Structure 1
Amino acid sequence: MEQSLVIAMVGILGIGAQWVAWRTGWPAIVLMLAAGFLAGPVLGLFDPEHAFGDLLDPMIAIGVALILFEGGLSLDFRELRHAGDGVWRLVLLGGPIAWVLGAFAAHSIGGLEWPVAILFAGILVVTGPTVVMPLLRQSSVKARPAAILKWEAIVNDPIGALFAVVSYEYFRKVAEAPGSGLIEVVPPLVIAAIIAGLIGYVAAAAIAWAFPRGAIPEYLKVPVLLTSVIVVFVLSNQIEHEAGLVAVTVMGIALANMNITSIRSIHPFKQNIAVLLISGIFILLSASLEFEELAYLNWNFGLFLLALLFLVRPATILLSLLGSSVPWNERLFLAWIAPRGIVLVAISGLFALRLEDIGYDGTALIGLSFAVVVATIVAHGFTIDLVARLLDLKGSKRPGVIIVGSTPWTISLALMMKELKSPVMIVDPSWQRLALARQKGLPFYHGEILNEATEHNLDLTPYAVLVAATENEAYNALVCNEFAYEIGRDTVFQLGDAVDDDDRHALPSSIRGRALFESGFGVEDVNERLARGWVFRKTKLSEEFDFEAAQERLPDAASMLLLVRESGTLRFFTHAARPEPRAGDIIVSFAPPQERSAQDAAAKRERKRNKAAEQGT
């Protein structure tokens, strides 16, 4: 099969599996494994090694380097501080403990020879945010244990890779010079790691200097960054085998903590690159599996998986958090949840090829790593909700609303959302404007939402919808445009009419949020109506009392704002879309005061009687 056709199939299978995962809520990594395995060894549609030959190894190596760089770029120490000392303990103490215990289990129970067991155990330290984050969103775990799991996954991505690099380099040097001891082998490794780290840091510093000063045009920033990562990786590997993984990890972490505003603007692109690389590498590796490699998945390895789940992980957590401030129910939760993901498979695939070059049987690593991924995702993915509930660590599952701008109208809206038990947060940089929110006991954040510090101080995870409703329409559009990628273009809303093509001063729809209300009420409209006594009302629909009946009960002037599904999902009525109401939904409307409503209802009944009389005659 032609290489171009194989590349197309890899893209279709990888992105297709990601899309199916999004639609169904199933773990993407399991779907990608199934797709690659079916396309490769089962149906024989393509063989990556045959298609790409000698290019397969460097392709996977560079892909892993870019994934580790992207992971390092996510590690902002300012956010890490909010997770407390639990994460530092899990990294500084838990990482080495997991490495040692995992190596003993892999050798004595799994039957791997010591070099392979030590290298594999180092990689097993990785949990991976690409798997942990979806599980946390799915189960709605409370903030602190969720933060610890999230940051353990982000930090341990590069840590596990470093453990693997150290292990491999040690055994490679021993293989090249039999009889070498720690004194001959370790110091050169340490020096090489330091040099690689310095190369990565210098590259990051050069980018941090060049980007803000306009030395690189905007359209070249992403290509320059990606090319720099590849150059740093290849250059460091010339100094020492696999030292490039250390260099790119340090480069990513350094850039994340250098406060470069330009880096924030390329986050969407680097996340897209990460999705493409993860999908591609996973399909290539799973398609490269051979049935002979699955022979390693015997009862010995089954026992090793049980030891990994019930001995290694619990012992790691309980020993590393001994004497910490983390409560016992959270420790037990952390002791159970440790799903592995794409980084484990990618690094295992990379070193499986390397081990064979120095005389060790690394063919088992790819099959074993896939088995660990599937076992941990199934075990933890299907039990995380139950365990969180049993340990009283469940957070709110209902999607919330973050409201930008503290005004009388937004306070009224927030009170209605609170009454509907939907999480709500009001954000405003003015302490004075937040006075009413404080008086009403509403959650609030005092700060500028567009400030980069807000990313580190305000957890946006519980909020699925953003409503920008300050008195400045251009600012509202700017907020919606900024958060459209993170929250979703279809779930950022602002007050203001739909774009008028004849109005040269109207803001283009490409930078605006969705317009609230079908009528497109603006800020002045809602404030003026609120001053005349308009209020938010909720109406519950049933089989007997449908949407048409609800409309009949409301006055003609009332405007539908949103509906709340029984699951808590929010659907807004906008100028461009009207959700389909059904039994069990709660309709929230913005309506005139009761007296006016009574008059409107009487007039509506009178019109209905007159219409019926006309039809009768």
Structure 2
Amino acid sequence: MAVQGTTGLDPVLAFALVGALGVGSQWLAWRLRLPAIVLMLAAGLIVGPGLGVLDPGDQFGAMLQPMIAIAVAIILFEGGLTLNLRSLSDAAVGVRRLVVIGAPLGWLASASALHFVAGLSWEASAVFGGIMIVTGPTVIAPLLRQAKLSKRPAALLQWEAIVNDPVGALAAVLAFEVVVVLQTATGVGHAIQTLAIGILFAGAVGLAAGWALVKAFRGGYVPEYMKVPVLFVLLLAVFAITDSVLHESGLLAVTVMGLWIANAELPSFTELRRFKEQATVLLVSGVFILLAANMSMATLGTLDWRALAFVMAVVLVARPLPVLIALWFSNISWKERALVAMTGPRGVVLVAVAGLFGERLVELGIEDADRIAPLAFALVAATVVLHGFTLTPLARALGLTAATKPGVLILGGSRWSVGLAEAFKKMELPVLIADPNHAHLRAAREAGIETFFGDILSEVAEHRLDAAAFEKMICATDNDAYNTLVATDIAPEFGRENVYQVKRVRQTSSRHALPATLGGRKIGGDETYFEANARLAEGWEFRVTRLSEEFTLDDWRTQHPEAIPVADLGPNGTLRLLGPDETPKDATGTQIVSMTPARKERLEGQA
């Protein structure tokens, strides 16, 4: 029989509630196009200190901190998996400066803000200031997904967040060890020795675990169906072992392990990363709900004008100043420096680690350390809300978004592709045509369409193409098998509902037919590549028509009875690609892209 907490909510029900609120907040944010983190934070506060329905400290007891610690470790490991060194490209200098120069300066600036503005002692300020180096991949990742920044500023923010996470935690450990030396009889040499051994041990274990895993996977020592379970078990073991030697060094170990695997070029790496990304979405949701719900009204009541002044000092001074100094005289433009300097959301790691060290400092006799946890929560809440609503407008104002309108990536340089791309260009939508055959791109280049020469699945495409600029993809080469392969491979990144391909040629033998479950959605009329291009050769063309109060969808259909609708762009900027059974929206301001027979006068002019 399950044990119930004082709130009366069963622990199993509490666990389910956390999952439902977390995932539900993410889904609602996607539907409403709002920052997901803001909704998760609000949901946690409502069911926690607001209504008192969820009390994680009571319902999960001693398991709460280990649960959060393991979740943070998995999130950081997944972040390490995204850090392919080749993806740094021209952001390498900026990332190096942000870590080597920006982190120490950020530590000093944060500690100063805590002491002079928030009024904490130097001991508490030094420890908490180290933790504040962390900007938080749990927050940055959803913000980048929403804001769709251009490649370099996105890489700067992502790398800084992931690399500085363990750096900030270890900085807090270093400061804490110094405080222990000052408060106890422990020697300085012993404290430094413990810290050095812990860091070296964590780095070595992370490298060894990553190397062993890659060796085992490549050598076929682990069957395919067991790769993810083996990865998870090894990850937990690495974190637990290193963390037992030195607290918080486990974060460094799992980050190093993920970084090694990310750069090992494993054949099954894509599947591993996708599964980890899905797990991370669940963990980020759950941890944010737990941390917000675990705050009490009494703790929140301790926040006064000093807390507000402290948050403002961090946002306006302690974050921007170190970043601007670190990136000074670098190849990073002033707009990119400004964006990175004004973007410093804090997340799960800050709250979790701050609460842990706050309790330990209080045990050592640093009384004002009990203010660390509420100040950490205030900083996280303020920066999450602030950057959640301002990052996208700020990036747009600075011209650093990948695209302000939904872009379309078209695979294949046929006449059909070029005609459709020209129609999208008339609607001022970003469009690019990619083809592995350089000759196929001649017509697109002559039409002024942006092109990419190469295989869309190649590593070069991954690093040179800014995928964030494109919302939808159309596979339209003369090779059905290639179209299906690309659509299937790209679908998890774009979303299966956003990947389309031209109809496949019907095979007379089922032996040669491709599975119906693979590939993308149909687009336009129920026509193959060859049938669609034949229409254009016969005089058909792509046309863009805008609906109005005087010219409705019925009028358009009456005027163009043979037209095949391919896409529509709503007045609110929403682009839809239309299949054989879909019709354009009948709304004033909607623009319809269709294939229609050429006008009579145009045909006569060509005769």
TM over 0.5: yes
Q: Distance in 1 between matches of 2:529 and 2:298?
A: 67
- Do the aligned residues in 2 keep the contact of 1:402 with 1:463 (CA within 8 Å)? yes
Alignment partner, residue 473 of structure 2: 466
Counterpart residue type for residue 106 of structure 1: L
Matched to 2:62, the amino acid is: D
Is contact 2:413–2:477 with CA below 8 Å preserved after alignment? yes
Equivalent residue number for residue 99 of structure 2: 91
Cα deviation for residue 310 of structure 1 reads 1.4
Tell me if 1:532 matches 2:538: yes
How many Å separate the matches in 2 of 1:357 and 1:234? Answer: 24
Q: What is aligned with 2:208?
A: 202
Q: Which amino acid aligns with 1:304?
A: F
Which residue pairs with 2:65 in the alignment?
Answer: 57
**CA–CA separation in structure 2 for the residues paired with 1:581 and 1:335:** 45
Answering whether residue 214 of structure 2 is matched by residue 234 of structure 1, we say no
The yes-or-no answer on 1:515 pairing with 2:522 is yes
Cross-structure match for 1:437: 444
One-letter amino acid of the counterpart of residue 480, structure 1: A
- Could you report, residue by residue, the CA deviation over 1:410-459 in whole angstroms, capped at 9, with x for unpaired residues? 12222222222111112222223223333333212222122244322221
- C-alpha change, 1:390 and 1:223, in structure 2 (3 Å) is closer
Secondary structure class of the residue paired with 1:461: helix
Would the aligned equivalents of 1:422 and 1:568 in 2 still touch at CA under 8 Å?
no
State percent identity of aligned pairs. 43
In 2, the alpha carbon distance for the partners of 1:296 and 1:142 equals 40
The answer to whether residue 21 in structure 2 is matched with residue 13 in structure 1 is: yes
Q: Structure 2 residue aligned with 1:563, among 554, 568, 571?
A: 568
Q: Contact between 2:180 and 2:186, CA under 8 Å: does it hold in 1?
A: no
Question: In 1, distance between residues paired with 2:507 and 2:18?
Answer: 44
Which has the larger displacement, 143-152 or 372-381?
143-152
How many angstroms does 1:226 deviate by?
Answer: 0.9
1:214 aligns with 2:215: no
Q: For 1:499 and 1:578, how far apart are their aligned partners in 2?
A: 25
Confirm or deny: 8 A CA contact 1:60 1:350 kept in the other structure: no
Unpaired runs of 5+ residues, structure 2, are: 5-9
Partner secondary structure for residue 265 of structure 1: helix
Per-residue deviation, 1:374: 2.2
Change (3 A) 1:397 1:567: farther
CA distance in 2, matches of 1:232, 1:136: 29
Supply the AA of the counterpart residue of 2:47. A
* 1:351–1:307 CA distance, 2 compared to 1 (3 A): same
Q: Does 1:82 align with 2:90?
A: yes
Contact 2:539 2:603 in 1 (8 A): no
2:501 counterpart residue number: 494
| Pair 1:525–1:166, CA change in 2 (3 A) | farther
Whether 2:561 is the aligned partner of 1:552: answer no
- Deviation string for 1:54-83 (max 9, x for gaps)? 222211211111111111111111111232
Q: Does 1:366 align with 2:406?
A: no
Do the aligned partners of residues 323 and 457 (structure 1) sit closer, same or farther apart at CA in structure 2, a change above 3 Å counting? Answer: same
How far apart are the structure 2 equivalents of 1:145 and 1:327? Answer: 10
Letter in 1 for 2:455: E
Question: CA 1:10–1:383 in 2, change beyond 3 Å: closer, same or farther?
Answer: closer
Matches within 5 A, 1:162-561: 162-172=170-180, 177-178=184-185, 180-181=187-188, 183-356=189-362, 358-360=364-366, 362-388=369-395, 391=398, 393=400, 396-496=403-503, 505-517=512-524, 519-556=525-562, 558-561=563-566
Cα offset, 1:275, TM superposition: 1.2
Kept in 2: contact 1:29–1:342 (CA 8 A):
no
Would the alpha carbon gap of residues 78 and 204 (structure 1) be closer, same or farther in structure 2, given more than 3 Å must change? same
Give the letter aligned to residue 576 of structure 2: R
1:197 CA displacement: 0.8
Change in 2 beyond 3 A, CA 1:444/1:172: farther
Which residue is 2:7 aligned to? none
Letter in 2 for 1:250: V
Letter of the structure 2 residue corresponding to residue 402 of structure 1: L
Q: What does the per-residue CA deviation read over 1:141-181, in whole Å, with 9 as the maximum and x for residues that have no partner?
A: 55443443343333333332332343345545665x52532
Distance 1:24 1:346, change over 3 A: farther
Using a 3 Å threshold, how does the CA distance of structure 1 residues 392 and 242 change in structure 2: closer, same or farther?
A: closer
Contact persistence 1:131–1:339 (CA under 8 A): yes
1:585 aligns with 2:590: yes
Cα pair distance change 1:174/1:223, threshold 3 Å? farther
Distance in 2 between the 1:580 and 1:555 partners?
A: 16
Q: TM-score, normalised by structure 2?
A: 0.91
1:572 maps to amino acid: L
Counterpart amino acid of residue 93 in structure 2 = D
Contact 2:571–2:588 under 8 Å retained in 1: no
Paired residue secondary structure (1:508): coil
Contact 2:434 2:456 in 1 (8 A): yes
> How far apart, in 2, do the equivalents of 1:273 and 1:172 lie?
37
2:500–2:520 Cα contact (<8 Å) kept:
yes
Task: Give the total of aligned pairs.
Answer: 595
Cα shift at 1:47: 2.1
Distance between the aligned counterparts of 1:470 and 1:53, measured in 2?
58
| 1:145 to 2:153 alignment | yes
Aligned-CA RMSD value: 2.6
Measured in 2, the distance between the counterparts of 1:283 and 1:423 equals 37
Task: Write the distance in 2 (CA, Å) between the matches of 1:428 and 1:353.
Answer: 59
CA shift in 2, pair 1:234/1:352, >3 Å:
same
Cα deviation for residue 479 of structure 1 reads: 0.9
| CA gap 1:163/1:567 in 2 versus in 1, 3 angstroms | farther
> Tell me, what secondary structure is at the counterpart of 1:96?
helix
Q: Deviations over 1:494-530 (max 9, x none)?
A: 000599999665433321200112x321111112222
Q: 1:173 to 1:526 in 2, by over 3 A?
A: farther
Given that residues 428 and 446 in structure 1 are in contact (C-alpha distance below 8 angstroms), is that contact kept between their aligned partners in structure 2? yes
Q: 1:142 to 1:478 in 2, by over 3 A?
A: closer
Whether contact under 8 Å (2:102, 2:326) holds in the other structure is: yes
- What SS does structure 1 have at the residue aligned with 2:490? helix
Query: Any idea what SS the aligned residue of 2:438 has?
Result: coil
Question: Alpha-carbon deviation of 1:481?
Answer: 1.0
